[in-house]
Structure 1
Amino acid sequence: MDGAKLIWREVVIEDPDGGKIILWPHLPCILMPNQIRSREIWDGLALLLSTNDFLSMKDDDMNERKSPGANVEAAISSGTQFGKLLKELRELEIDGPHIPDPEPMRLVTHAQNARGGLPIYLIEPDISEEKWVDWLSRSADMQVRISSLLSRLTSNKRWKKDSTKAVSKIQHDRFIDTEMGAASATCFSWNAEEERVIGRNLSEERDMRFASRIRGALADLRDSRVDVDGSSQTLLMVPVHQARLPSIEESILAWPEPETIRSME
C-alpha cells in the first residue's frame, strides 16, 4: 500500500451479500471540517475499538467536560509516540488536538440519539477471546524485538522522513488548507511508527480480522433492520484514521468470511 493516497472523502464499498460499508477517513484527535463529513444516512456505526477502548473513550469525555485540555496535557507528558503526535498537532492552526478523538465521539453521540438509537459495533475483539489474546501476545513480542532494533536510529529522523514521504500522498481538496495538510503528514508519520513496531504480517492479520468483523457487523445490521418495501440498502458507517484506510479497504475487498458479531447492548 506504499502508493496509496491520503484521501479526505469517504469510500463506499458494496458488499456482495448486500448493503454498503462507508469508510470515512479522519485524522486522530482532530475535529474535521464540516464540508468533508459524510452526508450518507447510515443505519449503524462500527468503531475500530475494543470494549475497553470504548469505555475509556467515554471516561475521557467525562474528564474533558470536567477539566478541558487535561487529557491532552497528560498524554503529551507521557513521553510516548502518541504524546509526540499531540505535541506536533498542537503547533498547527487546526481544531485540535482533542481527547477523546472528536470524530468517533461525534458519531457515537449521533448513533445514540438518532431514530431511537442506532446499533454500535466494536470491531476489535475483547481480550477475553483466546484467538485475539494470541495475536496481542505475538504483537507484544514483535514490539520488543523491533523496538530494540529501531532504537539504533533516532525516532525524530524516521518521523521527519515519513512526513516528507506523506506530502506527495495527500489528495488535494478545496476544503483542506495547508495546516490540515501538515496535520495529515504528521498523523501519517505516527501511524507509520505504530505499524513499524509490529511488522507487516501482524498488521495484515489484524486488518483482515477487522475486515471480517466489519462484514459481520453489516450482516447483523442487515438481518436486524426493518425495510418495509425493500427499496433501500443497509449502510454501515466506519470511521477510520486516514493513514489506515487503504489497508482496511484492501482487506475488506479481499472478502473474508463475515464473522458473527453483535452490536453493543
Structure 2
Amino acid sequence: MPPQPWNDVVWEDPNGGSVIVHGTMPTVVYPNAMRPRATWHGLALLESPDVVDLWVQEELDEAESYGVNLTHALLSGGAFAKYVEGLSTLEDLQGGRFPDPEPRRLQRNADRHNRPVFFIEPLADDEDWGDYLTQEARAVSHWKKLLGMIRVGKRWKKSVKRHLFDAHPPPKGQSVDYSTAGVLAAAWWELSEWLSTPALAERRDARYASRIRGALASLRKTEGKEATLLLVVHRPHVSALVSALEANSNPEEISSTATDSTHMEEE
C-alpha cells in the first residue's frame, strides 16, 4: 500500500467529466485547509443509502450522551478500536468524532445545495453484490483470520511501525498529528483488508469503479463534459480505487438518492 499524499486526486473520465477523489480519515474532523475547494456537481459515497439513518442516530446518541459512540468503538475491539484509541492521544486534531465528520458534512452540504448524492455500495438485493458479501464473510470467518484477530495487538504494532517509514509530512500549516493519524489510518485499513482476500478486494473495487463511472455519466446528462463528481473514500483506499477506475471500461447505470439532513447543520 503506497503512502497517500494529502492533495485530492483528480481522475479524468475518457467519456467526459472528472472524479475528485477526496481521501478522509475515519472520525477525524478536517480543518478548512484540508477540505475540497474545487467546484463539484454531485457527491459519491462508498456507502449504502441507509448510512444516513445511521448518522442521524449517532447524532441523536451524541446529543443524549456525548462520547457514547466513541466508547462503543473502543470497547468493540479489533483494529478500529486500536485506531480510535491512537487518535485519542493526539491533542492537535479532532478525532474520535461520530458520525464520521467529513462524509457527513459533505452529504449535508450536497443536501443543502440540492446536489445529487450517489451511494456507490449496491443494495442488499443485488445478486452479484450478495455473492461478494457471502464470499467475504467466508474469508473473514476462516480460522486463520479469527486466530489472527486474537493477536490483533501484536499485529497492530507491526503495521503501525511499518507505515511509520512511509508517513507523509502533515499538510502545509497543519499539526504533525495529522501525519500520525495518517499512519494509524493506514494500519487500520491494512488490517481490515487482511481479513478478506486480495481477489475479493479487487472484485469490490471493480464494482465500485463501475458504479462511480455510472454516477459521473448521470451527472453528464445535466452538466455535460464538465461534470465533476466528488468521491469520498478512506485515504489508504485512494490508490487502489483510482487504479480500478483506470482499468474500468463498463460504467454501471446508477441513480442519485434523495437524502434528508435535518440535524446539526454544518458548513
Aligned to 1:62: 60
Please state how far the C-alpha of 1:83 moved relative to its aligned partner.
2.2
Is residue 212 of structure 2 the alignment partner of residue 214 of structure 1?
A: yes
Aligned to 1:73: 71
Give the alignment partner of residue 157 of structure 2, picking from 133, 157, 160.
160
Find the aligned partners of 1:241 and 1:156 in 2 and give their Cα distance: 22
- Unpaired runs of 5+ residues, structure 2, are 259-267
Aligned to 1:111: 110
Given that 1:41 and 1:235 are in contact with CA atoms closer than 8 Å, whether structure 2 keeps it comes out as: yes
Find the aligned partners of 1:176 and 1:203 in 2 and give their Cα distance: 32
Is residue 251 of structure 2 the alignment partner of residue 258 of structure 1?
A: yes
Range moving further from structure 2, 248-257 or 20-29: 248-257
Please state how far the C-alpha of 1:175 moved relative to its aligned partner.
3.0
* Match runs of 1:91-240 below 5 Å: 91-93=89-91, 94-114=93-113, 117-145=114-142, 146-148=144-146, 150-151=148-149, 154-172=151-169, 173-223=171-221, 225=222, 227=223, 233-240=226-233
- Unpaired runs of 5+ residues, structure 1, are none
Q: Which amino acid aligns with 2:164?
A: V
Please, what TM-score do these two structures have when normalized by structure 1?
A: 0.90
Q: Aligned pair in 2 of structure 1 residues 26, 175: CA closer, same or farther (>3 Å)?
A: farther
Find the aligned partners of 2:60 and 2:216 in 1 and give their Cα distance: 30
Range moving further from structure 2, 133-142 or 4-13: 4-13
Please state how far the C-alpha of 1:149 moved relative to its aligned partner.
5.0
Range moving further from structure 2, 61-70 or 122-131: 61-70
Residue by residue, what CA displacement relative to the aligned partner does 1:178-233 show, whole Å, maximum 9, x if unpaired? 2111111111111111100101110111011101100000001111x2x5xx6x71
Q: Cα RMSD (Å) of the superposition?
A: 1.7
Residue by residue, what CA displacement relative to the aligned partner does 1:54-106 show, whole Å, maximum 9, x if unpaired? 32123212322333211111221222432222122111112111111000011
Please state how far the C-alpha of 1:51 moved relative to its aligned partner.
2.2
Given that 1:42 and 1:237 are in contact with CA atoms closer than 8 Å, whether structure 2 keeps it comes out as: yes
Residue by residue, what CA displacement relative to the aligned partner does 1:143-196 show, whole Å, maximum 9, x if unpaired? 1114135257x2122212211221233333323432111111111111111100
Find the aligned partners of 1:11 and 1:254 in 2 and give their Cα distance: 16
Is residue 236 of structure 2 the alignment partner of residue 243 of structure 1?
A: yes
Aligned to 1:89: 87
Find the aligned partners of 2:119 and 2:220 in 1 and give their Cα distance: 16
Please state how far the C-alpha of 1:244 moved relative to its aligned partner.
0.7
Given that 2:168 and 2:179 are in contact with CA atoms closer than 8 Å, whether structure 1 keeps it comes out as: no
* Match runs of 1:32-51 below 5 Å: 32-51=30-49
Q: Which amino acid aligns with 1:71?
A: N
Q: Aligned pair in 2 of structure 1 residues 95, 258: CA closer, same or farther (>3 Å)?
A: same
Range moving further from structure 2, 237-246 or 53-62: 53-62
Find the aligned partners of 1:164 and 1:72 in 2 and give their Cα distance: 24
Given that 1:76 and 1:84 are in contact with CA atoms closer than 8 Å, whether structure 2 keeps it comes out as: yes
Find the aligned partners of 1:191 and 1:125 in 2 and give their Cα distance: 21
Counterpart of 1:25 in 2: which secondary structure? strand
Given that 1:125 and 1:132 are in contact with CA atoms closer than 8 Å, whether structure 2 keeps it comes out as: yes
Find the aligned partners of 1:18 and 1:58 in 2 and give their Cα distance: 35
Please, what TM-score do these two structures have when normalized by structure 2?
A: 0.90
Please state how far the C-alpha of 1:256 moved relative to its aligned partner.
3.3
Find the aligned partners of 2:21 and 2:173 in 1 and give their Cα distance: 19
Range moving further from structure 2, 5-14 or 66-75: 66-75
Identity among equivalent pairs (%): 33
Given that 1:7 and 1:25 are in contact with CA atoms closer than 8 Å, whether structure 2 keeps it comes out as: no
- Count the aligned residue pairs: 255
Given that 1:24 and 1:38 are in contact with CA atoms closer than 8 Å, whether structure 2 keeps it comes out as: yes
Find the aligned partners of 1:253 and 1:175 in 2 and give their Cα distance: 32
Q: Which amino acid aligns with 1:234?
A: A
